[in-house]
Structure 1
Amino acid sequence: MLPSTVSIPKLISYSIFLATATLLVVGILSPYSHNILPVARLFDAIIIFIAAFTIYKIRISNIELLAIILISAYFIYYTLSSTLLGSAHILDVFQSSKFIVYIIIFIMLSKVPLMREREIKYLLFISLFAFFVKYAYSITLEFTDSMSRRPGVLTENNFELIYLAGLFFFVKDSLKIREHVLCLLILIAIMLMGGSRSAIASFMIASAIIYVKGNPVRMIAFIIPGMALFSAAYFIFESRGGFDLSTIDRFRFFNLFMNEMNNRNALNWIFGDSQLTPMMPYTCQMLSFYEKLFSFNYDSTCYSVILHSFLFRVIIDHGLFVYLMTIFISYYAIKKNTGDIYLSLGIVALVTVSGLSVSSFNSSIAAFMILLAITSEQKTQSTERYDTVDLTIE
């Protein structure tokens, strides 16, 4: 009888480790920007590299195979409908739907052993060091105004702090007590230096899920450090404009999102549009200062990406059904590999809550973090059994 998982050459694991470490080092050495390298594209390349070199060594259940076929068919249909029947640029479609490719990869690679937990722990240590050094000197030395206010090692800290927190949550149980406490304190310090409200909120909610685990006693013990972090977050929120909703760009995005959806029926809310549809001219005009997010057709057209929030973007383009499907599949893939309900819920909550502000599951760095969680070798694996389709090549 063949094993339920197959070994992945160590060369792939080492390549991923070295590539990520290299991006972190380059980030430290980039004082005037987040990173001089195109990090988002490179993480996409890493994800494609992983999928390409493992696709013929996976074992998936019949239900998983059916899910892959249906999701792939939807992605192909949406792409062709948007480009051939509609007027959307292929890159606009991909920018809207990239997360669909990610979730297909999550289904395929979940529980395929890629990196050992120890290697991910070392990656956490390197990441914490890189983030702390870059954030500290960016704020202290003020090479540029933007980097002193919102430092970053890989990309905007709204995105990269989710990666860092997810990495910590995933390996925390393999850390010694002193390592755990030290890493947690450094992570909190980085969060506060970064000043990202969405990342702090996501981290607090995920921490409550993962540490409390539904236990009332743990909930009481969590209140004090939770309140301390909330107070620090409140101070940051006040320093960045207080609680005046009119000063919060995401509130403006919400109003524009509701204005877009006012003319759509219930089916549009549930299933989105059959093709990528431009935003109304009023929305594009109100957000004209985000010119880099306008269509690749280089005209006055803009699409849902301009609203930033993954929640808003997916509901407009694909509907609530696809949004909930994305959350469920991500949870399923992590749970299948780790067997830990609360860890799976916590990591998914971490990414989902960030999606109220940024691109969340559509971000390559968040997808990379989830991929590590679903492909690491665990000390204890889930004992669930599946009727499988063997895709291995002898």
Structure 2
Amino acid sequence: MSFPPKKMRNTKSSTTIYAGLVFLAILGFLSPYEYNIAPATAILEIIFIISTILIATHRSIKLLAFPIASAGYIAICLAISHYFSPTHYLDFLVAYKAYIYVILLAFFVQKETFSHTSARNLFYILLVLFLGKYLYSKVLAFEPRMADRPGIYTENNFEVIFIVLLYYVIEPSIEKLRTTTLIGLCAVVFLSGSRSGMLAMLIVFAFINFKTINKRTSLSIIGFAFIAALLLYVFSKRMTGGLESIDRFIFLTSFLYETRDWNITNIVFGSMPVTPLSSTTCEILGYYQKLFSYSGNGACYSVVFHSYLLRVIFDHGLAGFLFLLAFVTTALRKSGYSTRQIACVISVILATSLSVSALNNIYMTLALAIALSIKEKNYANRKILQS
């Protein structure tokens, strides 16, 4: 039997993800005064759960150790939290969402439900809708917030990472309009004003183009330098004061204040489950009150640090973060990706962990779900795994 199979056999799982992403993107495109007239993020969470159930009934799970360990860890922490430091269940869910995603993503390993053709078509549809929404939001400026930081699903720090990673997954199968596609994606990233998105794009561009020294290397270097210049421009434009005015610097100093008395055990394993931050830190970060406890009692948790690196170390320690990275690495390896490809994805995760929620949000998770369930791994490997 030839590989990939001639007959496309997308399951209901991949169709659910495909249709959900496109439908919500269309709604977002038709929402000039807000990101999306629908609660896109919540709907995508539900779509991901449904698609996991659909794929789980198709074949057996290929990666058991990580989801079992993750489920056990969640159960133990939930018990500790319940008996020693009761908190709102949604606060717990936010703190442990990445570990729940581990359980769900494990079902996508080696399932091969997306073809490169369907994933590529999905990317192009989304790219057109993203570019259209971002352009008219900037040019027509129907609403000040959308004119400054446009989005089609939600805040663009999250959705831009998704489309950049999706581009990396489908890039090997692009045979025509490669330069046009790259320019279109760079335009979306630049219009977004997302610094984390710019950094992710820079990483992906470097991994795709800097493989060997040949006649294309000089052009690749020019492209890399151009993207880097755009990144520096976005950084400088959004820096209105000194270092102390940068929100990420404030998050870091607040994190250091909260962990000033930590010992090696805390560094490795983090704090007690769902430990509230001090009133001093909550007051300093009061501008982000919408991220405070769902209980409405004025408490705040690690989510106000924004940076997932700070959040995961505070809640789960270095061991917890390494566990998540180990899962992604193992899942991608079992799904047929090379060391180079895995390094690119991990680099994007690490880079975005410095600023946004990385593995703790549905957009990164959906990009990984598609990557893990792409069919033609040998096709991809022929195209980009030369080193």
Tell me the TM-score normalised to structure 1 length. 0.89
Partner of 2:84: 85
Give SS of 1:74's match.
helix
CA separation in 1, counterparts of 2:165 and 2:146?
23
CA separation in 1, counterparts of 2:13 and 2:102?
21
Partner of 1:131: 130
Give SS of 2:86's match.
coil
Contact 1:31 1:143 (8 Å CA) reproduced: yes
Give SS of 1:338's match.
coil
CA separation in 2, counterparts of 1:243 and 1:371?
40
Contact 2:10 2:114 (8 Å CA) reproduced: no
The offset of 1:300, in angstroms, is 1.5
CA-to-aligned-CA distance 1:272-308 (integer Å, 9 cap, x gap): 1231100111110001111110001101100000111
Give SS of 2:335's match.
helix
CA separation in 1, counterparts of 2:79 and 2:9?
34
Contact 2:292 2:301 (8 Å CA) reproduced: yes
Partner of 2:114: 115
One-letter amino acid matched to 1:30: S
The offset of 1:382, in angstroms, is 11
Partner of 2:5: none
Superposed, 1:33-44 pairs within 5 Å as: 33-44=34-45
Give SS of 2:277's match.
coil
Contact 1:336 1:382 (8 Å CA) reproduced: no
> Aligned-pair RMSD on alpha carbons?
2.1
Q: Does 1:29 align with 2:30?
A: yes
Q: Which moved more, 1:13-22 or 1:114-123?
A: 13-22
The offset of 1:46, in angstroms, is 1.5
Superposed, 1:229-240 pairs within 5 Å as: 229-240=227-238
Partner of 1:286: 284
The offset of 1:350, in angstroms, is 1.6
Contact 1:338 1:382 (8 Å CA) reproduced: no
Q: Does 1:376 align with 2:374?
A: yes
Superposed, 1:1-394 pairs within 5 Å as: 10-60=11-61, 64-176=63-175, 178-213=176-211, 215=212, 222-241=220-239, 244-380=242-378
CA separation in 2, counterparts of 1:243 and 1:228?
25
Contact 2:12 2:51 (8 Å CA) reproduced: no
Change (3 A) 1:122 1:143: same
Give SS of 1:318's match.
helix
The offset of 1:127, in angstroms, is 0.7
The offset of 1:18, in angstroms, is 1.5
Contact 1:210 1:343 (8 Å CA) reproduced: no
CA-to-aligned-CA distance 1:330-374 (integer Å, 9 cap, x gap): 122123223332222212322321111111100111101110000
Partner of 1:4: none
The offset of 1:15, in angstroms, is 2.7
Give SS of 2:298's match.
coil
CA separation in 1, counterparts of 2:96 and 2:119?
28
CA separation in 2, counterparts of 1:193 and 1:299?
38
CA separation in 1, counterparts of 2:122 and 2:336?
18
CA separation in 2, counterparts of 1:382 and 1:157?
28
Contact 2:186 2:201 (8 Å CA) reproduced: no
One-letter amino acid matched to 2:174: L
Contact 1:315 1:323 (8 Å CA) reproduced: yes
Give SS of 2:275's match.
coil
Contact 2:24 2:153 (8 Å CA) reproduced: yes
Contact 1:331 1:344 (8 Å CA) reproduced: yes
Contact 1:338 1:378 (8 Å CA) reproduced: no
The offset of 1:196, in angstroms, is 0.8
CA-to-aligned-CA distance 1:317-337 (integer Å, 9 cap, x gap): 001111111112112212322
Change (3 A) 1:261 1:210: farther
Q: Which runs of 5+ in 2 are unaligned?
A: 1-7, 382-387
CA separation in 2, counterparts of 1:157 and 1:189?
13
CA separation in 2, counterparts of 1:239 and 1:205?
21
Aligned length in residues: 373
CA separation in 1, counterparts of 2:290 and 2:23?
27
Change (3 A) 1:196 1:78: same
Change (3 A) 1:379 1:67: closer
Contact 1:271 1:320 (8 Å CA) reproduced: yes
Of structures 1 and 2, the one with the larger relative CO (CA 8 A, separation 6+) is: 1
